[in-house]
Amino acid sequence: MQLSQISLRCTQGEGDRGIICGGTRSGKSSLAAGSPTVPWRLSLLADFHNRYPTGRILIADTKPRFRAEWTADGRSARRVYRKWRFGPVVPGSVLVQPGDKLGLDRAWRRGRIAICQGVAEQAPPIAWIMRQFTDQGDGRRPLLLYVDEAMDFYGPTGLPKPSTGNPILQAMRAGGERAVSVLMATQRAKFVSGQLWELLERLYLFRLEMEGDMKRIREMGVPAWMEPPEENHIFRFWSKLARGERYPPMRLEP
């Protein structure tokens, strides 16, 4: 089983919409975009980046965790991360400050991956950049929005946080016309709103900590035989479009 068989597509302007669910440290971010032990090239985002030579990716990183290679004005971003102990470098990526629309435009001169990063309290200006990114979609160039900690944009009832404007829903709705694919990761499936679940079609499922989360996931139509793995770093895939298809558990092998 190859990751490329279950990765996100953006064909004929239609973007896939996926969610990665799993408990703390189960391996969500590594599957999406690599980690110090999982190389970038094995990740879902790298697959998209290679598959679509004109495609662009925005990583919304509110942990923050990923290291960009460049700043928006074209300098090395290494200085920015002087005090960080961990965190993988995303090759060729450009750092965009929350709220900096000009920075987002400039980033595309340098590369095809932008990282908008800050702490969770900066969700509103990061959400604004997510919205700008979606609005840049012209229906031809494939875009991928990756939200590493999706629940930083939503409250425990699934409602968007104040002043964020529900950027994930907006991107998912734009998917068809603007060629936007969306990937979101979260520990708590339970807090993902029904509106988002309705639009989600791909599930990457890691070990879960809370029972309520699997209940919520089943409400999305996931069949009973689809059980979450018990160990970290192992995930199962399920697609709404091929409901009955059973994929074997997978693990990225560094």
Ligand X SMILES: Nc1ncnc2c1ncn2[C@@H]1O[C@H](COP(=O)(O)OP(=O)(O)OP(=O)(O)O)[C@@H](O)[C@H]1O
Binding residues vs ligand X (CB under 6 A): 22, 24-30, 35-38, 187, 233, 251-252, 254
d(CA 25, CA 89): 18
Q: Which does 251 bind (CB under 5 to 8 A by kind): ligand X, Mg ion, none?
A: ligand X
> Which CB sits closer to Mg ion, 28 or 207?
28
Q: Which does 41 bind (CB under 5 to 8 A by kind): Mg ion, ligand X, none?
A: none
Q: Which does 254 bind (CB under 5 to 8 A by kind): Mg ion, ligand X, none?
A: ligand X
Question: What residues have CB less than 8 Å from 96, skipping those under 6 apart?
Answer: 58, 72, 103, 104, 107, 114, 115, 116, 129
26 binds Mg ion (CB under 5 A): no
Q: What are the two backbone dihedrals, phi and then psi, of residue 167, each rounded to the nearest 5 degrees?
A: -65, -25
> Which CB sits closer to ligand X, 128 or 206?
206
> Which CB sits closer to Mg ion, 113 or 150?
150
d(CA 153, CA 170): 13
43 binds Mg ion (CB under 5 A): no
d(CA 206, CA 170): 26
> Which CB sits closer to Mg ion, 28 or 110?
28
30 binds Mg ion (CB under 5 A): no
> Which CB sits closer to ligand X, 233 or 236?
233
Part in contact with Mg ion (CB under 5 A); list of ranges 3-11, 24-32, 138-146, 189-197? 24-32
- Minimum CB–partner distance for residue 50 and Mg ion (Å): 22
Question: What residues have CB less than 8 Å from 83, skipping those under 6 apart?
Answer: none
Do 176 and 13 form a contact (C-beta atoms < 8 A)? yes
187 binds Mg ion (CB under 5 A): no
- Minimum CB–partner distance for residue 57 and ligand X (Å): 17
- Minimum CB–partner distance for residue 159 and Mg ion (Å): 23
Per DSSP, the residues of 68-117 read: -SEETTSSB-GGGGTT-----B-TTEEEE-TT-HHHHHHHHHH-SEEEEE
d(CA 205, CA 28): 9
54: which 2 tokens?
A: 């004109």
Q: Which residue is nearest to Mg ion (CB)?
A: 29
Q: Which residue of 7, 29, 43, 93 would you call a contact of Mg ion, by CB under 5 A?
A: 29
> Which CB sits closer to ligand X, 12 or 24?
24
d(CA 204, CA 74): 35
Part in contact with Mg ion (CB under 5 A); list of ranges 29-37, 45-53, 107-115, 218-226? 29-37
**What residue ranges bind Mg ion (CB under 5 A)?**
28-29
